[in-house]
Homo-oligomer: A and B are copies of this chain.
């Protein structure tokens, strides 16, 4: 019972995602809203915060900053797109959105639904084990020490 469940990866991940707006920014970007001002208007994030968030997401290699030439001519601008590392966060995003829609949506329902492009049905996160069993309660999941576990003395 005394291996260290140490906050390791979850703690580190939350040091990134845990900043109030990070996940919201990712949501916009996944949704195709990729330009500074568009993101800002859609989400209501304060300029400075958005600026910081974008910069640190780029630095973490979760987004990348790409120059583009606006349709209507004009100066070169930048847009933000997810990297592979960033795309892998969509599982987190879907899980967060689902929980939020279940417990925190306005009475009318959620403002956006995520649907499967091919069939139009709503998407949901589920948990499976490597043997393909569907797991629908946390009771069926147990933690156990992994390769990086360190012994733990209370």
Contact = CB atoms under 8 A, between A and B. Distances in A.
Given A142-B117, A147-B108, A10 B30 contact: no
A123 B128 contact: yes
Interface in A101-154: 101-106, 108-119, 121-131, 133, 135, 137-150, 152, 154
The 9 closest A-B pairs by CB, nearest first: A109-B147, A9-B100, A13-B100, A116-B129, A121-B130, A90-B138, A113-B146, A121-B129, A108-B148
Given A5-B111, A27-B10, A117 B92 contact: no
Interface residues of A, number: 95
A115 B142 contact: yes
B138 A10 contact: no
A57 to B, nearest CB: 13
Interface of A: 3-15, 17-24, 27-28, 30-31, 33, 38, 41-45, 82, 85, 87-106, 108-119, 121-131, 133, 135, 137-150, 152, 154
A98 to B, nearest CB: 7
B14 A110 contact: no
A110 B11 contact: no
A85 B103 CA distance: 8
B141 A111 contact: no
Contacts of A10: 23-24, 27, 93, 96-97, 100
22 contacts: A6-B42, A9-B105, A9-B111, A13-B99, A13-B100, A30-B141, A90-B127, A91-B95, A95-B125, A108-B147, A110-B148, A111-B148, A113-B144, A115-B144, A116-B141, A119-B131, A121-B133, A123-B130, A124-B127, A125-B126, A125-B127, A126-B126
